[in-house]
Amino acid sequence: MTEDKMTDDGRLRLQVFMAKCGVGGRRFCEDLISQGRVMVNNRIVREMGLKVGDDDVVQVDGETIERSDKVYYIALNKPRGYVCTNYDPNEEKYARDLITIRDQNLLFNVGRLDKDSNGLIIFSNDGEFANKVMHPRNEIEKEYLVHLDRKPDVEDLRKAVKGLYIDMSQPYRIRSYAFVPMRRDYIKVVLTEGKNREIRKIFSFLGYEVKGLTRIRIGCIELGTLQPGEFRNLSRKEIDGLLAGKTTLVTRKKFGNAAKRQSGQRTRREDRT
């Protein structure tokens, strides 16, 4: 039996139960348990293997949690100035509060987007989904529109692709970049990792000021026309595409336009004969 399956009496491992209650991804839940922030039936629990069911009272930071049969997958255009954490005594604006649904309290952010950045972020109450999307081995792309104080030098961008050692033993790097036509101070950057404030640290290290940072894509999920503060449900096709590691849901026919041109040329030749 794998750890995410129920026993015959409907019980689950504690961290799996917490994920299904919308607390967060399984690894995040395991951290909460190890920190002594989880209680089961009024007793602090630090055991990962403990099995619980709907009859047990499970509390995280003193708040009782319950499992929900309904799962949510929501894309939000987070405005600048909002935080993605669900609780911080030093903050007042929470991104989750912008998602006005009845089960809002079950949602948690899948991945990070810092307070000074805006754009696409996904909220869900599906812990397994969150783990698959966030796990580094899946290398799901995140694309950003970066506004700099000046046009970046190509050699600097090549250094960023190769990797920069800034404040830790692991390098910060971007997967790819593309210049924005007609905007010398804008660039599109693709990442597959999720280090804290990675883009800002990279460009600051190279001597640039990041004046604006907008995430415009996660895998095959695009920000599109979603306005700041607006949210929408992901489609089943988008969810499956994201988990499959797709970067787009559009299937492009490689020779489609060429075939149409050839067909038009044949028709014109036939008309002349």
On whether both 52 and 168 belong to a single domain, the answer is no
The CATH number given to whatever domain includes residue 26 is 3.10.290.10
Are residue 235 and residue 132 in the same domain, yes or no?
yes
The CATH number linked to 167 is 3.30.70.1560
181 plus 207 within the same structural domain: yes
Catalytic site positions:
114
Q: How is the beta sheet containing 43-44 ordered, strand by strand?
A: 43-44, 38-40, 58-60, 63-65
Do 97 and 229 belong to one domain? yes
Q: Which SS3 state, helix, strand or coil, does residue 116 take? A: coil
Given a cut of 70, is residue 261 above it in pLDDT? no
pTM of the model: 0.77
- In the predicted model, is pLDDT for residue 273 greater than 90? no
Mean pLDDT check: name the lowest of 50-54, 56-60, 83-87.
83-87
pLDDT digit string, tens, across residues 20-52: 787 877 788 899 999 999 999 999 999 888 999
Last residue of a domain, one of 23, 43, 65: 65
Q: Which domain holds residue 147?
A: 141-218
**Any domain includes 272:** no
Give the pLDDT confidence score for residue 175 in this predicted structure: 95
Q: Provide, rounded to the nearest whole percent, the portion of the chain with pLDDT above 70.
A: 88
Question: Which amino acid makes up residue 61?
Answer: D
Tell me if 273 is assigned to some domain. Answer: no
At residue 70, the pLDDT reads: 85
Residue type, 102: R
Residues 80 and 134 grouped into a single domain: yes
Asked if residue 24 lies in contact with residue 110, where contact means CB atoms within 8 angstroms, the answer is no
Task: Tell me the average pLDDT of the chain.
Answer: 87
Name the one residue in this structure whose structure tokens are 């790097």: 173
Q: Does residue 192 share a domain with residue 89?
A: no
- 162 and 38 inside one domain: no
**Given a cut of 80, is residue 69 above it in pLDDT?**
no
Which pLDDT does position 6 carry in this prediction?
Answer: 55
Q: What is the pLDDT of residue 5?
A: 56
50 & 87 share domain: no
Per the domain annotation, does 92 fall within a domain?
A: yes
Q: What are phi and psi of 191, to 5 degrees?
A: -120, 155
Query: What is the Cβ-side half-sphere exposure of residue 151, based on CA atoms within 13 angstroms?
Result: 8
Tell me the pLDDT tens digit for each residue of 207-221: 999 999 999 999 999
Q: Are residues 109 and 171 in the same domain?
A: no
State which of 47, 65, 83 marks the end of a domain: 65
What is the tally of structural domains in the chain?
Answer: 3
| 2 pLDDT above the threshold of 50 | no
Q: What is the pLDDT of residues 138-183, one digit of tens each?
A: 899 999 999 999 999 999 999 999 999 999 999 999 999 999 999 9
Q: What is the CATH number of the domain that holds 103?
A: 3.30.70.580
| Cα 240–Cα 137–Cα 96 angle in degrees, nearest 5 | 60
